[in-house]
């Protein structure tokens, strides 16, 4: 019932009727004070003072109406201008990009793997070790026939590839000997891709 009363009051604008009723009562009271002779024993403002006060209130009301009219004449949100429908997202987004080459990864891996992580090679017999001098003498004798590119593993001594320790020793010595021969201008060396096989051939005259 209360909600229905509120709805009905909105439709009938009861507050406006109440304002007019108060104003009518005030004017009737003011008119009676102006028409009736003043009572010397009665305290309170005289009719002239009440009239002046009413005039002041009416002036204030008129000023408020003019101000309200000026405000309503201005551009209004939703009618004359609108807010943005979808504002920009100003949140900060961080994206981490790692720009590391294969060399950077190998260097980082080498820093982690200290010398304590690697077990040294122990050979029970010296004939299991191929020195660089031996590999250099052998390479000089066979590189004259290496006209086309061939893998470094093909230049290892026969029988040294079966034993892991001997293969590591022969590979290291042969590679070191190859670098010496490249420095001397005797052969050419290449590697077509990262971690690809190292290839050798005789340098063309």
pLDDT tens for 20-37 read 667 777 777 777 777 766
**Is pLDDT of 158 > 70?**
yes
Confidence of residue 16 (pLDDT cuts 50, 70, 90): low
- Residue 84 domain-assigned (yes or no): no
The answer to whether position 94 is within a domain reads no
Residue 10: the pLDDT is 62
CATH label of the domain that carries residue 172: 1.10.10.580
Give the C-alpha separation, 137 to 143, whole Å: 10
Q: Is 192 exposed, middle or buried (0-12, 13-18, 19+ CB in 10 A)?
A: exposed
pLDDT at position 63 over 60: yes
pLDDT for residue 147 is more than 70: yes
Mean pLDDT, range 79-106, rounded to an integer:
80
Using alpha carbons only, give the angle 38, 34, 31 rounded to the nearest 5 degrees. Answer: 135
* Residue-number span of the structural domain to which 56 is assigned: 2-37+45-71
Residue 81's φ and ψ, nearest 5 degrees, are: -145, 160
171 closest CA partner among 118, 127, 120, 135: 135
Number of H helices, E strands in the chain: 6, 3
What phi and psi, each to the nearest 5 degrees, are found at residue 188? Answer: -120, 150
- pLDDT at residue 44, rounded to an integer: 64
143 is a domain residue? yes
Residues 6+ apart with CB under 8 A from 48: 34
Mean pLDDT across the chain, nearest whole number? 79
Provide the token pair at 171.
Answer: 């590979």
Question: Residue 195 falls within a domain, yes or no?
Answer: yes
Residue 73 has pLDDT above 70, yes or no: yes
Alpha-carbon radius of gyration of the chain = 54
Do 197 and 134 share a structural domain? yes
Q: How confident is the model at residue 103 (pLDDT cuts 50, 70, 90)?
A: confident
Q: Assess if residue 189 is contained within a domain.
A: yes
Instruction: Look at residue 159 and tell me if it is in a domain.
Output: yes
Same domain for 195 and 134, yes or no, is: yes
> Is the pLDDT reported for residue 39 higher than 70?
no
Lowest-pLDDT range, 2-6, 130-134, 182-186?
2-6
Is 77 among the domain residues?
Answer: no
The domain total for the chain is 2
pTM summary value: 0.41
- Tell me, yes or no, whether 54 lies in a domain: yes
pLDDT on residue 37: 67
For residues 57 and 133, the model is more confident at 133
pLDDT of residue 5: 60
Percent of the chain with pLDDT over 70: 74
Q: Does residue 128 share a domain with residue 190?
A: yes
């Amino acid at each position: 019932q209360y909600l229905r009363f509120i709805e009905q009051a909105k439709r009938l604008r009861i507050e406006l009727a109440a304002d007019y009723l108060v104003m009518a009562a005030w004017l009737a009271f003011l008119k009676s004070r102006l028409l009736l002779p003043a009572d010397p024993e009665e305290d309170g403002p005289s009719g002239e003072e009440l009239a002046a006060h009413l005039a002041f209130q009416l002036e204030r009301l008129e000023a408020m109406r003019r101000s309200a009219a000026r405000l309503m004449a201005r551009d209004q949100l939703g009618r004359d201008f609108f807010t943005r429908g979808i504002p920009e997202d100003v949140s900060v987004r961080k994206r981490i990009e790692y720009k590391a080459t294969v060399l950077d990864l190998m260097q980082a891996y080498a820093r982690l793997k200290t010398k304590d992580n690697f077990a040294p090679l122990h050979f029970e017999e010296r004939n299991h070790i191929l020195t660089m001098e031996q590999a250099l003498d052998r390479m000089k004798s066979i590189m004259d026939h290496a006209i086309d590119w061939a893998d470094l593993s093909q230049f290892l001594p026969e029988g040294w590839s079966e034993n892991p320790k001997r293969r590591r020793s022969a590979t290291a010595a042969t590679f070191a000997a190859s670098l010496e021969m490249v420095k001397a201008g005797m052969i050419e060396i290449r590697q077509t891709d990262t971690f690809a096989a190292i290839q050798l051939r005789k340098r063309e005259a």
